[in-house]
Amino acid sequence: MRTMYPEIEPYRTHRIAVGGGHTLYVEECGNPQGLPVVFLHGGPGAGLSPYHRRFFDPARYRIVLFDQRGAGRSTPFADLTDNTTWHLVSDIETIREQFEIERWAVFGGSWGSTLALAYAQAHPERVLGLVLRGIFLCRPEEVRWYYEEGGASWILPEKWQRYAAAIPVEERHTMLDAYWRRLTSDDETVRLAAAKAWGAWEGGGITLEESPETEASFAAPEVALSLARIEAHYFRNQAFLEPNQLLRDVAKLRHIPTVIVHGRYDIICPAKNACDLAAVWPEADLRIVLAGHAASEPAIADVLVEATDRLADRYC
């Protein structure tokens, strides 16, 4: 199995103002003369982690990573103003233009796969290749599956009970709306309690094997507040997409070399999502592996690194 590349540090960091009061944290890693790739993190609202740099050969890639609006080190933290899919698509183009990159590869997992598809469909002429992991198309049934009392509650019943316990019984028929009311409360204590419960629920399902450390990291305030607020904002608005838009517009991408990687036992984003995408995109290389949702799981990391190596072989 391939493993991720060794840890690296950015050779340059940036603060880029993108309007609406938002300033993005952006970093560049690897080889400044290498194949450009932009990494799109999950959530929305989860922010970057140092291991995200490690899916790419630092000798061959110019790796661009950024915290999306309201997430991580971008400011203002957890802010929902002018924070939509199409604002983020515009931000990606702003970064590309400021860095004087003509075309680049796009790598995105979970929500990052949603954003990667939206960006590539808006700007296919700028995309050299796509590596997509843990497909999420933000369809209503996908949101119901994990955040309402869908199938995930049957697989993780004790964790669902803790997630549901943050909401009074009489409001549990619409969990997303109930959480939204608390995540946008004027009371900071109420906001934080809801965010921590939301984060623990999401972190509790992300790996195939139990990982209390992962669950705790998602429930930490510096992650949970932006994750929960921004996710609820996007999910209540179907990610600001038209119904089935990402599947409908795949024809714009069929010429782009693409690898789709998905865990067979992904609880957060079921494998059906990837199969639905591949069904309308036969040219894409679909890889379903024995893993859950997390990009860091060995079986997923193996195929992701293989995919980025093959893309570098193609262009370098």
The model's pLDDT over 204-253, given as tens digits with 9 standing for 90+, comes to: 999 999 999 999 999 999 999 999 999 999 999 999 999 999 999 999 99
Predicted local confidence at residue 150, as pLDDT: 77
Q: Which of 52, 57, 67, 110 is catalytic?
A: 110
Residue boundaries of the structural domains of the chain:
12-140+240-315, 141-238
186 is a catalytic site residue: no
For residue 296, indicate whether it is catalytic.
Answer: no
Q: Which CATH number fits domain 12-140+240-315: 3.40.50.1820, 3.40.190.10, 3.10.105.10, 1.50.10.20?
A: 3.40.50.1820
d(CA 11, CA 98): 17
**Which pLDDT value is given to residue 90?**
98
Q: What percent of the chain has pLDDT over 70?
A: 100
Mean pLDDT of the chain: 97
Catalytic residue among 266, 276, 296, 302: 266
Q: How confident is the model at residue 24 (pLDDT cuts 50, 70, 90)?
A: very high
59-97 pLDDT, tens digit per residue, is: 999 999 999 999 999 999 999 999 999 999 999 999 999
**What Cα–Cα distance (Å) separates residue 185 from each residue in 72, 131, 228?**
21, 38, 13
Q: Which residues of 158-180 are buried (b: 16+ CB within 10 A; e: fewer)?
A: ebbeebbebbeeeeeeebeebbb
pTM of the model: 0.97
pLDDT of res. 276: 98
What's residue 149's pLDDT? Answer: 81
**Residue 138: left (phi > 0), alpha (psi -120 to 50), or beta?**
left
Phi, psi of 14 (to 5 degrees): -140, 155
Q: Is 110 a catalytic residue?
A: yes
Distance CA 46, CA 37 (A): 20
State the catalytic residue, choosing from 91, 113, 293, 296.
293
